[in-house]
Structure formats: C-alpha cells, structure tokens
Amino acid sequence: MKNDKTTNNDNGNSHKQEAKRKIALLTGTTGQDGAYLAEFLLNKGYEVHGLKRRASSFNTDRIDHLYQDPHESDVRFRLHYGDLTDSTNLIRVIQEVQPDEIYNLGAQSHVQVSFETPEYTANSDAIGTLRILEALRILGMEKKARFYQASTSELYGLVQETPQKETTPFYPRSPYAAAKLYAYWITVNYRESYGMHASNGILFNHESPLRGETFVTRKITRAVARTVLGLQDRLYLGNMNAKRDWGFAGDYVEAMWLMVQQGQPEDFVIATGETHTVREFVEAAFGRAGVRIEWSGSGIEETGRVAAIEPGSPAAKAGVLKTGQTIVAVDPRYFRPAEVELLLGDPSKAKERLGWEPRVKFHGLVEMMVDADLMAQQREMYLKSGGYEVKNYFE
Ligand code: NDP
C-alpha cells in the first residue's frame, strides 16, 4: 500500500489527523474514475470505502494496487459488495460506513450499450442515483453526507449552444443520456428540497490508460499498439467526424473533490475547452507510434492507409507495417442510432470558482495512452516469444 496515513498530516500530529479523518464512499470504484479518485482521496488522508459488484471473474484490476489486507491494523481502503439496483444494500452500506462524502460514479456508462440495454441503464444510472439520495434521507444523513453526482456532457446531445456551459439547455440523444438527465435533476431537486450538499459535475469525456477497452479512445490506442506490433490488421470505427472534448481522468477526479469541498453545492462543467474529431485522435495516436496516415474515400467507404513510417519510431523498430497498407476502416455497426456530433465544454466557472484547470491536453493524453498500450502489448508479446506458457501438469 503506497498511501500512508501521515502523508497529508497538516500539522505533524497524527493523533489529531486520526480524529479528523474524513470518510468517503464511492460507487463505481472498480471503474476508471473510481480508481483515480480512490487513490486521490487516500493520498489526501481519507478513509475510502468502495462499492464493488459481484462478478464471476475478478473485476478489481484497476484498484488492486490500493488493496490492503483487512488484517492490517490501519486499513483505510475497504470494498463492500453492492449494486445501484439494490436499495436495501445501499441503505445498509451507507449506514455501516457513515460517509462524510459520497461520490456516485457507478453507472452503465457506455452510450452504445445503452441502446441495447435501455431499461437496465435507466435502473442503474437514473433510479440508482435516487436510491442513494433516498437512503441518505431514510437514515437521516441528508445534512451529514455531501453528495457528488457523475453527470455528463452527453446531456447536451443535440447541442443548443457551443461551447456548452452550465446554463446550456440539455437535449439527450441516448438512453444513457436520458437516464443521466434524470439523475442530474433529482440531484438538483434533493439539494433544493432538503438542503443537501449535492453537486453535479458535468464532465466532458475523460480518458486514461485505465479507460475501458470498448470506449473509442482506448479502442484506438490499443489498436495502434497491436497494429504496429503485427497483432491486429485493421481498426474498425463508427463516426470519425464526431468531435469530442477529451481530458485526462486523473485531472478530472480532482475537480470532483473540489466541488464537494465548496461551501455551497453547485453544478460545474469540467472540460478542456478544446475539441477534436475521432479522425484526429486516430492520426495523433498512430503518429505517436511513428505512422503517418493518409485518408481516402468518404462516409462508410473511408479508409486510412500507411503513408509513411518515421525512422527510429516504434513502428519502424517493429518492422511489421508497410506503406500503402490499409489499417483503418469504417464499420457502420458502430454508428449510434442518434449521433452526438460536437461536444466542446467551457470550463470557465470551474477555473474561477474551484481554481481548477486541466493539466493534460489532447496530445499529452494521446501520448500517455499510446505509450501505455505499447508497453502492455509488448509485455504480452515478450512473454509469449520468451517461451512462457502455462504447462498442463496433468498431461
Ligand atoms: P466505467 O465504465 O469505467 O466505470 C463504471 C463503474 O460503475 C464500474 O465500477 C462498474 O462496475 C460500476 N457499475 C456499473 N453498473 C453498476 C451497478 N448497477 N451498480 C454498481 N456499480 C455499477 O466509467 P468511468 O469511470 O469512465 O465513469 C465514471 C462515471 O462518470 C460514470 O457514471 C460515467 O457515466 C460518468 N461519466 C464518465 C465520463 C468519461 O468520459 N469517462 C464522462 C462523463 C460522465 P464494474 O467494474 O463491475 O463494471
């Protein structure tokens, strides 16, 4: 465990700090943001409790480095089985943990998947948020625990104004966004009705090497690494003209925490203020590995070919790709039934009120993700080429 209880000791007196130690409860702890936020809060001296879903295989990869043996004396990170679709479980965990702060990050968070599982998405993302807020009221904790809701730029959907800010009207374009719209308003409603310290962070897309492999940015950076190393022939994508404001998850979890520390609860847009197309992300990602792409065709016929390979780059060293080879193509199966064409956030309120600004911008983010995926894919290759294989001792 790399976090130690004296790390953030304001006055050097660990007994005093012990008395003041804050308790945070996170839903979605096993996800991208949950992992970054848990580590961030542990580094701030918090006791962190996370909700984890029961799964038939391990689902704690992203937080395994934070794990503490429950037999240790000063355990500050604990996981509890739970689910946003189970009210009784949420009431019991909140009662047991008695959190000062709750960060509701848990959600069926994939837009495309929400078209396939709209009812479940509404249950976990919309009603799940209500369940937590009601649990706080049932337990008489509505004035004790502060609440953060993971709202999303997808609320803007068919955008009514660019750039989007806190006052821009919403127009959700997916079951995911419609569910998150309910969660947004029920959070506002509980704040206004019961005086709860409840805030919405309207976060624009944020990514990292921990991003799930089916989200477009990670799908791209993973495919870049695999294509360059000869493990994959082609990357298939949907709408390459979609424009997004992409930031780094590590920066965005700090904004969540800052919102919860404010004297008054409020809603904030968190974004970089830059927008790029998916195509630009692909170009930058392949560029990082040393591959220049040239595009031809349009619409579903569009393809990306290798135009040049930079000498000394990872692609040149791997020696697999050839100029002229097609490595990117469109697959209409990845088109959304209703598209969100352009997202661009205006984070001025967060800058002014929270003193928050993104440290990592577009190119830094792409580089971080490609480098991590190149390392991960190479590690796998080396293990295989080094003769590592699991022996069957029963044969
Ligand atoms: P992830 O998909 O990486 O993580 C989602 C988390 O929610 C996982 O821990 C998942 O558990 C958990 N979860 C899913 N369903 C349930 C359920 N029914 N009960 C309890 N937990 C559940 O998402 P991110 O970390 O990227 O995002 C965090 C939050 O922020 C989400 O609410 C997302 O919608 C929102 N958001 C994200 C943005 C982004 O760009 N990343 C942008 C704006 C908002 P398991 O690991 O078991 O699947």
Active site residues: 152, 154, 176
Is residue 273 within 8 Å of residue 163, measured between CB atoms? yes
Q: Examine the pLDDT at 314 and tell me if it is beyond 50.
A: yes
Helices 128-138, 175-194: axis angle to 10 degrees equals: 20
Q: What lines the ligand 1 site, CB under 6 Å?
A: 27-34, 51, 53, 55, 59, 83-85, 105-109, 124, 150, 152, 203, 205-206, 212
**Domain 216-240+277-336+362-386 falls under CATH 3.90.25.10:** yes
Judge if 23-203 and 216-240+277-336+362-386 fold alike in CATH terms: no
- pLDDT at position 89 is 98
Maximal CA-CA distance, the chain: 67
Q: Examine the pLDDT at 16 and tell me if it is beyond 60.
A: no
Span from the CA of 119 to the centroid of ligand 1 (angstroms) = 16
Closest-lying ligand 1 atom to the alpha carbon of residue 53: 47
Predicted-complex ipTM score? 0.99
Span from the CA of 31 to the centroid of ligand 1 (angstroms) = 5
Is residue 84 within 8 Å of residue 29, measured between CB atoms? no
Token digits of residue 142: 């509505």
49-106 per-position pLDDT tens digit: 999 999 999 999 999 999 888 888 889 999 999 999 999 999 999 999 999 999 999 9
pLDDT confidence band for 389 (50 / 70 / 90): low
Is residue 333 within 8 Å of residue 359, measured between CB atoms? no
- Cβ count within 10 A of residue 385: 8
Given the DSSP bridges, would you call strands 47-52 and 23-27 parallel, antiparallel or unpaired? parallel
Q: Examine the pLDDT at 310 and tell me if it is beyond 90.
A: yes
Better-scored residue on pLDDT, 389 or 258:
258
pLDDT confidence band for 1 (50 / 70 / 90): very low
Q: Examine the pLDDT at 7 and tell me if it is beyond 70.
A: no
Token digits of residue 395: 């044969």
Span from the CA of 69 to the centroid of ligand 1 (angstroms) = 25
Span from the CA of 1 to the centroid of ligand 1 (angstroms) = 24
Q: Examine the pLDDT at 214 and tell me if it is beyond 50.
A: yes
b/e string for 243-267 if b means 16 or more Cβ within 10 A?
Answer: bbbbbbbbbbbbbbbbbbeeeebeb
* Cis before 163? omega within 30: yes
- pLDDT at position 392 is 67
Residue from 27, 83, 90, 105 whose mutation best tests the ligand 1 pocket (most atoms within 8 A of CB) = 105
* Among protein residues, the one whose CA lies closest to atom 27 of ligand 1: 33
- pLDDT at position 384 is 74
* Among protein residues, the one whose CA lies closest to atom 4 of ligand 1: 31
The pTM is what? 0.93
pLDDT confidence band for 12 (50 / 70 / 90): very low
Span from the CA of 109 to the centroid of ligand 1 (angstroms) = 5
* Among protein residues, the one whose CA lies closest to atom 43 of ligand 1: 152
Closest-lying ligand 1 atom to the alpha carbon of residue 104: 32
Q: Examine the pLDDT at 300 and tell me if it is beyond 90.
A: yes
Span from the CA of 211 to the centroid of ligand 1 (angstroms) = 10
- Cβ count within 10 A of residue 272: 24
Secondary structure, 3-state, the chain: CCCCCCCCCCCCCHHHHHHHCCEEEEECCCCHHHHHHHHHHHHCCCEEEEEECCCCCCCCHHHHHHCCCCCCCCCCEEEEECCCCCHHHHHHHHHHHCCCEEEECCCCCCHHHHHHCHHHHHHHHHHHHHHHHHHHHHCCCCCCCEEEEEEEHHHCCCCCCCCECCCCCCCCCCHHHHHHHHHHHHHHHHHHHHCCCEEEEEECCEECCCCCCCCHHHHHHHHHHHHHCCCCCCEEECCCCCEECCEEHHHHHHHHHHHHHCCCCCCEEECCCCCEEHHHHHHHHHHHCCEEEEEECCHHHCEEEEEEECCCCHHHHHCCCCCCCEEEEECHHHCCCCCCCECCECCHHHHHHHCCCCCCCHHHHHHHHHHHHHHHHHHHHHHHHCCCCCCCCCC
99-150 per-position pLDDT tens digit: 999 999 999 999 999 999 999 999 999 999 999 999 999 999 999 999 999 9
Q: Examine the pLDDT at 297 and tell me if it is beyond 70.
A: yes
Residue 218: phi and psi, rounded to 5, are -70, -35
**Can you tell me the mean pLDDT for 358-385?**
93
Residue from 104, 109, 151 whose mutation best tests the ligand 1 pocket (most atoms within 8 A of CB) = 109
* Among protein residues, the one whose CA lies closest to atom 10 of ligand 1: 28
Residue from 33, 117, 270, 340 whose mutation best tests the ligand 1 pocket (most atoms within 8 A of CB) = 33
Closest-lying ligand 1 atom to the alpha carbon of residue 151: 44
Closest-lying ligand 1 atom to the alpha carbon of residue 206: 40
Closest-lying ligand 1 atom to the alpha carbon of residue 59: 46
User: Among 228, 186, 233, which Cα is nearest to 373's?
Assistant: 228
Token digits of residue 208: 């990292």
Which CA distances in Å does 270 have to 116, 134, 187, 306?
Answer: 28, 27, 17, 36
- CA–CA separation, 307 and 314 (whole Å): 16
Span from the CA of 73 to the centroid of ligand 1 (angstroms) = 31
- CA–CA separation, 268 and 221 (whole Å): 29
* Among protein residues, the one whose CA lies closest to atom 28 of ligand 1: 105
240-279 per-position pLDDT tens digit: 999 999 999 999 999 999 999 999 999 999 999 999 999 9
- pLDDT at position 395 is 64
pLDDT confidence band for 9 (50 / 70 / 90): very low
Closest-lying ligand 1 atom to the alpha carbon of residue 62: 46
- CA–CA separation, 61 and 285 (whole Å): 25
Q: What CATH superfamily classification does 23-203 receive?
A: NAD(P)-binding Rossmann-like Domain (3.40.50.720)
Beta carbons within 8 Å of 389's beta carbon, 6+ residues apart: none
State the amino acid at position 30 in one-letter form.
Answer: T
Where exactly are the structural domains of the chain? 23-203, 216-240+277-336+362-386
